[in-house]
Structure 1
Amino acid sequence: MRNKKLVILILTIGVFGILNTEMGFIGLIPYISNQFHVSVSMAGWVISGFAIGIAISGPIMPLLLSKIERKKVMIFILIIFVISNAVVLLTNNFSILLLTRIIPAIFHPVFISLAFSVAADSVDEKDTPKAVSRIFIGVSAGMVLGVPVVNYLASNFNLQLALLFFFVVNFAVLILVFIFVPKMPVSSKLTYGKQLNILKFPLTWISIIVSFLFNAAIFGVYSYFTDFLSSVTHAEGLMVTLILFIYGISNIIGNIIAGHTLTNYPKQTLVVLPFLLIGSFLLMFIFGEFSVLMIIISVILGILAGMTANVTQYVITSSAPDAPDLSNGIFLSSVNLGTTVGTFLGGILISILGSNFVVGVGIIISLLNLVFIFTRIHITNKKGAVANEK
């Protein structure tokens, strides 16, 4: 592939646009509620509807479109996002808004899956984690940094300008992909049946569980991080925003670190990460009342969360290298399910014990995950199933 670095950069920006379209609405819920005259809980469906679309289509759509030339698929998906962004920008009807959130969500896993696959195919196998880590920078930026950007636009200007931001980013990526990304014929046209064969192997299912538990541990705590900062740390306004921003930047640093550690020390990274998460959650529990220390802890947690994002993708795709598009789709579904379950469990623990104990979800799930991680390593050692983990 010519201009490999340029292609990966464009895909990283594209992933930022796609993820920002998904997660950016978190910062717009009050404004949507006011403009469309619906309750806050009803406005929340613009996020829930998108997440449901991803969870359902994650294992299906990448598989169905896996035999079509990749550039055509990417352009098709970006056109859908651009049109949807335009409708969202112009409509005053909440039902139409909700519909134009669900439709692009169905194709969301396909673009992300293709971005991971193209990045992996652009380098030697041993350098795959490094290439994928660059795509994850777009993921982290879209998930964490996009929220304060659109929130700033909506709060200081208006909702339309924030919605215009989604449109402009995705339209720019569409033009960049059309001009600079070369045609990418599918190199391996496995039948749907052969791709689904990866689900026959215990390694695949163990890897799905590991990925699920990693994300459940992270988001079981992070989903209530703002509440923790307010209730336990007693941080206010600007301090909360600062800590969340630092956490987001640290995510990107974690993506870069994981790209190197997974390339050189995949097993060690997989084993050590849960212990580091447990230690960080304990620090959060012990020193959560101190704002200065929480800034330091947020840096550590942010880096580990960024590394976790890379690791969850790695454990699934490395267990099924012959079906990258399908395995990436499964990865997206498993982490979304992990986020949902982790958030649910965190909410239960807070309601029973209080905000300070939300870290218990992350600790318990991380301990459980170690059982499956060591099981996975045992399988790979026994069968030699993953070439990079010798």
Structure 2
Amino acid sequence: MSKRNSLFIFILTLGVFGILNTEMGVIGILPQIAEHFHVSVSQAGLLVSLFALAVAISGPILPLLFSGFDRRKVLLFVLGVFVLSNIVSIFAPNFTIALIARVIPAFLHPVYISIALTAAASSVSEKDIPKAVSKVILGVSAGIVLGVPITTFIASVASLDMAMTFFAVVNAIAFIGVLLFVPSMPVKERLSYGAQLSVLKKSKTWQSIAAVVFINAATASVYSYFAEYLETITHVSGNALSLMLIIFGVASLLGNVLGGKLLSKDAAKSIIIYPFVFGAVYILLFLMGQFTAPMFVIVVIWGVLYAIANNISQYWITSAAPEAPEFANGLFLTSGNLGITIGTTVGGLFISGMGTRYIVLGGLLFLILGLVFILLRIYMDKPVRKQATDQQ
């Protein structure tokens, strides 16, 4: 990969980090936001839940609508909206204005992510696509696992306004990077909306969507209650809990790089093996979760596999609909968010019905369902591949 391509992909990744940081960073400062606007913490939580809802709604729609425009102009437009909305959030006179300033850019979240993934893939050879995409997805993971502690730290040592300013600054730097270093990217062959929507007629697309929903449900059903599990089952808290969260975050960043390499080497084999490996980790978690020392090792492997799920999810859906990349990446984002919603809900039901330790069973159930749809797509693909080989 050339230095020029590396800079291009880095700028795309920085923008992804800025957007995910805007989405997830507020989680750690919700109590301060609630106090600042004189609302309850649950009301402040709308800043997270409504943002996620907007992403899920717009995921398959707005990337499709923007698919015919010059990608550079769209990237600048989205980042510009995020910068302005972040500035409005800093000076918002009341909670309603702050909430509106959050939700409006949230609808454009899938537009930037889908274009960044598509642009990264189109900038390299077919063999290097998973590696390029994994670097952009690294921005997603960094935004999720680093955005919260960084923003919380800034709020604790400086102020809430400075923490909110951090969101605007990162997006502004990404905007400048795109403006200065990203060339014009006009769409050479514009597909009609109907042609892009036609990918939904393929059974392969729906098999891939189902697999991605269940794989993400499998990760979210347990990870959503990560801290609860460590406190209740492993009996760690305070510094030890913080250390495990940091270890998980660092491991997930490494997982992105590993995921790209595995998919580049042998995508189908890696995707088939993935549920078995993650299932083995969940079984170890169930059997050894009460022991602190083994949990440190489990958390490292867990973090790596958690990140690889994002790489697999993006590859699996876009490979099912390569003719409509932006729309496919929108489907990836919506499917992932739907899986997170389902997984978090089911994990909560397992906790209330059976106890915290048994959330692992929900994760294993979703991994099995994900594997079923992975194998179904591969099985259904065989006659197609054989027919194409015979024709050659």
Q: TM-score range by the shorter chain?
A: over 0.9
Partner of 1:313: 314
CA contact (8 A) 2:211 2:369 kept: no
Are 2:195 and 1:194 aligned? yes
CA contact (8 A) 1:151 1:162 kept: yes
- Superposed CA offset, 1:215-247 (max 9, x none): 000011000001001111111111111111111
Q: CA deviation at 1:381?
A: 2.0
Partner of 1:123: 124
Query: Which is worse superposed, 371-380 or 332-341?
Result: 371-380
Partner of 1:244: 245
Q: CA deviation at 1:370?
A: 1.4
Are 2:354 and 1:353 aligned? yes
Question: Matched residue of 1:319: which SS?
Answer: coil
Distance (Å, rounded) in 1 between the aligned partners of 2:125 and 2:176 = 28
Partner of 1:33: 34
Please, what TM-score do these two structures have when normalized by structure 2? 0.97
Q: How does 1:155-234 map to 2 (within 5 A)?
A: 155-234=156-235
Q: CA deviation at 1:46?
A: 0.1
- Superposed CA offset, 1:263-307 (max 9, x none): 111111111110111111111111111222211111000000111
Partner of 1:299: 300
Q: CA deviation at 1:158?
A: 1.6
Distance (Å, rounded) in 2 between the aligned partners of 1:117 and 1:368 = 28
Distance (Å, rounded) in 2 between the aligned partners of 1:145 and 1:111 = 20
Partner of 1:257: 258
Partner of 1:13: 14
Distance (Å, rounded) in 2 between the aligned partners of 1:5 and 1:204 = 31
Please, what TM-score do these two structures have when normalized by structure 1? 0.97
Distance (Å, rounded) in 2 between the aligned partners of 1:198 and 1:140 = 28
Distance (Å, rounded) in 2 between the aligned partners of 1:136 and 1:326 = 17
Q: How does 1:263-342 map to 2 (within 5 A)?
A: 263-342=264-343
Distance (Å, rounded) in 2 between the aligned partners of 1:366 and 1:323 = 28
Q: CA deviation at 1:137?
A: 1.0
Q: CA deviation at 1:40?
A: 1.1
Distance (Å, rounded) in 1 between the aligned partners of 2:385 and 2:210 = 20
Partner of 1:46: 47
Distance (Å, rounded) in 2 between the aligned partners of 1:156 and 1:346 = 34
CA contact (8 A) 2:314 2:332 kept: yes
Matched AA of 1:206: Q
Distance (Å, rounded) in 1 between the aligned partners of 2:121 and 2:14 = 17
Query: Which is worse superposed, 55-64 or 154-163?
Result: 154-163
- Superposed CA offset, 1:337-373 (max 9, x none): 1000000000000001111111111111101211111
Question: Matched residue of 2:135: which SS?
Answer: helix
Distance (Å, rounded) in 2 between the aligned partners of 1:340 and 1:61 = 21
Distance (Å, rounded) in 2 between the aligned partners of 1:2 and 1:77 = 26
CA contact (8 A) 2:350 2:362 kept: yes
Gaps of 5+ in 2: none
Q: How does 1:54-93 map to 2 (within 5 A)?
A: 54-93=55-94
Query: Which is worse superposed, 364-373 or 219-228?
Result: 364-373
Matched AA of 2:49: S
Identical residues among aligned pairs (%): 47
CA contact (8 A) 1:312 1:331 kept: yes
CA contact (8 A) 1:77 1:111 kept: yes
Distance (Å, rounded) in 2 between the aligned partners of 1:154 and 1:298 = 27
Q: CA deviation at 1:2?
A: 9.0
Partner of 1:368: 369
Matched AA of 1:184: M
CA contact (8 A) 1:274 1:370 kept: yes
